């Protein structure tokens, strides 16, 4: 109970830092804190394998890639400031959405709650069930996801390396438009 | 912790991410908001998986798919950020209006 409250507090604090500070590198650190807190939340929800993947892929991969993008793209001097009007409108939309959804959640009956039984807990800690399900029931989705990742890698490389072909008149025209 | 507490926690994270997407003008800050929203969805799915459908595998696999798609999406977005920066030396979304009607 205390552990769960602490984890929620860490995640929400990190998320608030991530969306509110001006400096984009500090925002990425806030995102890293929030993602670490969420990995702990996944542990509390008895999914240790997903927590490990969260640490590896999100904290170790996506935030580092974001920092690289900041290093390659940030001008440092020209940081676009948000207008107060934009922030107030965004806050109103988020708060209205929160109130509406919280009203639905609090008012709904989820039926009988079952926690994971201890013997299920044992199998949740092993990756055997996940591997078996990935290669049986979810095999098509698994293979499709690998194709999506391949296409994303090829697409990212081809989008990011356009400038190498600056001699091509079509590309120049596109860039100058 | 009850199921409602976890769902409300996910909802708070989702709304923070929504605020980030709507309020910020930096492309990378918008990507941060999107990642927060995706993680809120993952927490939601795992909470339902833990309390309502205690099959250890299925919810974890769905969340693994979300993480994989988020990685692909982040790679594409970051390459777009680099291209936009190269063309106009800024990554402010207010400047991107070539396709505006």
* pLDDT (0 to 100) of residue A118: 64
Residue B60: inside a domain, yes or no?
Answer: yes
Residues spanned by the domain of B25: 3-95
Instruction: State the nearest Cα–Cα gap between A45 and chain B, in angstroms.
Output: 6
Residue B90: inside a domain, yes or no?
Answer: yes
Higher-pLDDT residue of B96 and A105 is: A105
Mutate to test the interface with B, among A79, A152, A173 (most CBs of B within 10 A): A152
Residue B101: inside a domain, yes or no?
Answer: no
pLDDT digits (tens, 9 = 90+) for A95-147: 999 999 999 998 888 877 777 666 666 666 678 888 888 898 899 999 999 99
Is A8 within 8 Å of chain B by CB? yes
Residue B28: inside a domain, yes or no?
Answer: yes
Residue B26: inside a domain, yes or no?
Answer: yes
Go through A41-64 and write b for each residue having 16 or more CB atoms within 10 A of its CB, e for each that does not.
bbbbbbbbbbbebbbebbbebbbe
Give me chain B's average pLDDT, please.
87
Is A54 within 8 Å of chain B by CB? yes
Residue B43: inside a domain, yes or no?
Answer: yes
Rounded average pLDDT over A166-176: 47
* pLDDT (0 to 100) of residue A10: 94
* pLDDT (0 to 100) of residue A142: 92
Higher-pLDDT residue of B36 and A137 is: B36
Enter the DSSP assignment of A164: G
* pLDDT (0 to 100) of residue A172: 46
Instruction: Supply the CATH number for residue B19's domain.
Output: 1.10.287.3510
Residue ranges in chain B assigned as alpha helix (H): 3-23, 27-51, 58-88
Count of structural domains, chain B: 1
Give the model's confidence band at A7: pLDDT under 50 very low, under 70 low, under 90 confident, else very high. Answer: very high
Give me chain A's average pLDDT, please.
83
Q: Which residue of A has its CA nearest to B23?
A: A87
d(CA A29, CA A142): 31
Residue B100: inside a domain, yes or no?
Answer: no
d(CA B56, CA B7): 19
Go through B40-49 and write b for each residue having 16 or more CB atoms within 10 A of its CB, e for each that does not.
bbbbbbbbbb
Q: Which residue of A has its CA nearest to B75?
A: A156
In this predicted structure, the answer to whether residue B66 has a pLDDT above a threshold of 90 is yes
pLDDT digits (tens, 9 = 90+) for B49-62: 888 876 768 888 99
ipTM exceeds 0.85: yes
Residue B82: inside a domain, yes or no?
Answer: yes
In this predicted structure, the answer to whether residue A18 has a pLDDT above a threshold of 60 is yes
Please provide residue A39's backbone torsions phi and psi, each rounded to the nearest 5 degrees.
-60, -40
Show residues of chain A in contact with B100, CB under 8 Å: none
Give the model's confidence band at A164: pLDDT under 50 very low, under 70 low, under 90 confident, else very high. Answer: low
Pick A31's closest partner by Cβ from B35, B51, B87: B35
Answering whether pTM is above 0.90, one says no
Rounded average pLDDT over A70-81: 68
């Amino acid at each position: 109970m205390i552990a769960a409250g602490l984890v929620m507090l860490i995640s929400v604090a990190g998320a608030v830092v991530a969306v509110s500070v001006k400096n984009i590198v500090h925002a990425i650190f806030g995102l890293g804190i929030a993602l670490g807190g969420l990995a702990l939340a996944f542990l509390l929800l008895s999914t240790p394998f997903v927590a490990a993947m969260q640490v590896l892929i999100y904290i170790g991969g996506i935030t580092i890639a974001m920092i690289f993008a900041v290093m390659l793209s940030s001008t440092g001097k020209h940081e676009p400031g948000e207008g107060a009007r934009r922030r107030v409108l965004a806050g109103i939309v988020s708060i209205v959405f929160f109130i509406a959804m919280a009203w639905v959640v609090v008012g709904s009956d989820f039926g009988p709650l079952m926690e994971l039984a201890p013997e299920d807990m044992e199998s949740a800690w092993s990756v055997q069930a996940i591997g078996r399900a990935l290669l049986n029931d979810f095999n098509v989705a698994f293979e499709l996801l690998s194709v999506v990742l391949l296409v994303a890698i090829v697409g990212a490389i081809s989008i990011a390396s356009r400038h190498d072909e600056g001699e091509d008149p079509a590309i120049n025209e596109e860039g100058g438009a | 912790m009850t199921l409602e507490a976890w769902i409300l926690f996910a909802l708070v994270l989702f709304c923070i991410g929504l605020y980030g997407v709507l309020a910020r003008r930096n492309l990378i800050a918008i990507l941060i908001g999107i990642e927060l929203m995706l993680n809120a969805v993952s927490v939601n799915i795992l909470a339902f998986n833990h309390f309502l459908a205690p099959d250890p595998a299925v919810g974890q696999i769905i969340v693994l798919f979300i993480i994989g798609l988020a990685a692909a999406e982040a790679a594409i977005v970051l390459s777009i950020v680099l291209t936009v920066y190269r063309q106009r030396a800024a990554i402010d979304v207010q400047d991107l209006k070539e396709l505006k009607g």
